[in-house]
């Protein structure tokens, strides 16, 4: 019928119009893609993609402020060439600045190099003391170098320098072995708190004090200066200084800090026990025990160490 044919014509026209619009859109899209492929045909770099054309390339000698070339690779080979170059150039300076700020703020240094530099000077003081003690023992007892005997403290005819040199000499291996063990343990403790100068000063000061006490209280020969104890002609050994380090190592730990107080208690009970044991043996033997052990030097070294810390606390301002 006419009405039906008219409806069919309108429907056919609508379908053809939609198909035409879809074909035009598809053709336009293909053309744009082909045009894009022709502009940059899978370029390996920006220089290959546009050797000449309206888009200007950055000059070969770029200013320092230029950071990257879009789509290309810088001299470092990375996607952000200039940025990588700047990081390589200023990265070490930034690391050093960060370590400096951390050190000033009390933070521990980070990194292998920082830890190595922080530990490079630890223990030098006590190891030098150990080296001198061992070297003199080898020269005296093994190589039999004659002059080392003159370094002993001679109670009959003392020289002033013998009060220093005698605290580095030892009579036998057992004497040396026990002294260098405790020197290492308590010397390290003192050096951690007071540094290399502190452990050296403590060793010399308490050792000389122990030698002076031995010279005054023990006999020069039978009868002695004060008539105390058995006969003795020479004094040698680091034990007086070691007992001084016993006392100083404990007292430097006494502060308002739980961990330091705990360390002081652990070390202190050992030191007090050793001191009381020496006092009992000194009282029983009259100053010199079996085997020629100089108990007076041990007690005097510990007391001199206590006196040194007490004096420094009075003279120096609190931290």
What residues act catalytically? Answer: 239, 298
HSE on the CB side for 214, CA within 13 Å? 36
Q: How far apart are the C-alpha atoms of 255 and 276, rounded to whole Å?
A: 24
Of 263, 276, 277, 267, whose CA–CA distance to 246 is shortest?
267
Token digits for 310? Answer: 């007490």
HEC profile for 55-79? CCCCCCCCCCCCCCCCCCCCCCCCC
Sequence-distant (6+) residues with CB within 8 A of 173 are 137, 141
Query: Quick one: angle between helices 173-217 and 239-251, nearest 10?
Result: 90
Q: Cβ(158)–Cβ(220) under 8 Å?
A: no
Token digits for 170? Answer: 């030892």
Number of H helices, E strands in the chain: 10, 2
Say how many C-beta atoms besides its own lie within 10 A of residue 191's C-beta.
24
CB < 8 Å & 24+ apart, contacts of 102-108: none
Q: Cβ(294)–Cβ(213) under 8 Å?
A: no
Q: Cβ(133)–Cβ(179) under 8 Å?
A: yes
DSSP annotation string for 9-29: HHHHHHHHHHHHHHHHHHHHH
3-state SS assignment for residue 116: helix
Q: Cβ(115)–Cβ(109) under 8 Å?
A: yes
DSSP label at residue 138:
I
């Amino acid at each position: 019928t006419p009405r039906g044919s008219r409806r069919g014509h309108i429907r056919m026209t609508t379908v053809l119009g939609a198909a035409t619009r879809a074909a035009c859109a598809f053709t336009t899209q293909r053309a744009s893609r082909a045009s894009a492929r022709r502009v940059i045909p899978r370029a390996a770099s920006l220089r290959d993609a546009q050797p000449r054309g309206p888009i200007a390339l950055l000059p070969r000698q770029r200013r320092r402020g230029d950071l990257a070339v879009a789509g290309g690779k810088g001299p470092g080979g990375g996607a952000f060439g200039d940025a990588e170059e700047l990081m390589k150039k200023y990265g070490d300076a930034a690391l050093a600045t960060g370590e400096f700020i951390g050190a000033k703020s009390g933070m521990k240094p980070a990194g292998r190099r920082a830890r190595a530099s922080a530990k490079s000077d630890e223990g030098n003081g006590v190891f030098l003391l150990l080296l001198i003690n061992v070297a003199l023992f080898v020269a005296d007892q093994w190589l039999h170098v004659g002059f080392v005997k003159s370094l002993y403290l001679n109670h009959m005819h003392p020289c002033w320098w013998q009060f220093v040199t005698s605290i580095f000499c030892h009579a036998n291996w057992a004497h040396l072995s026990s002294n260098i063990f405790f020197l290492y343990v308590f010397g390290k403790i003192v050096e951690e708190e007071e540094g290399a100068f502190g452990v050296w000063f403590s060793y010399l000061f308490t050792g000389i004090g122990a030698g002076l006490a031995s010279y005054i209280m023990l006999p020069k020969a039978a009868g002695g200066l004060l008539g105390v104890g058995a006969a003795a002609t020479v004094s040698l050994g680091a034990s007086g200084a070691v007992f001084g380090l016993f006392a100083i190592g404990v007292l430097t730990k006494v502060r308002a800090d739980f961990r330091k107080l705990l360390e002081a208690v652990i070390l202190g009970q050992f030191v007090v026990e050793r001191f009381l044991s020496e006092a009992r043996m000194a009282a029983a033997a009259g100053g010199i025990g079996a085997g020629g052990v100089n108990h007076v030097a041990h007690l005097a070294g510990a007391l001199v160490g206590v006196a040194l810390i007490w004096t420094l606390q009075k003279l120096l301002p609190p931290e």
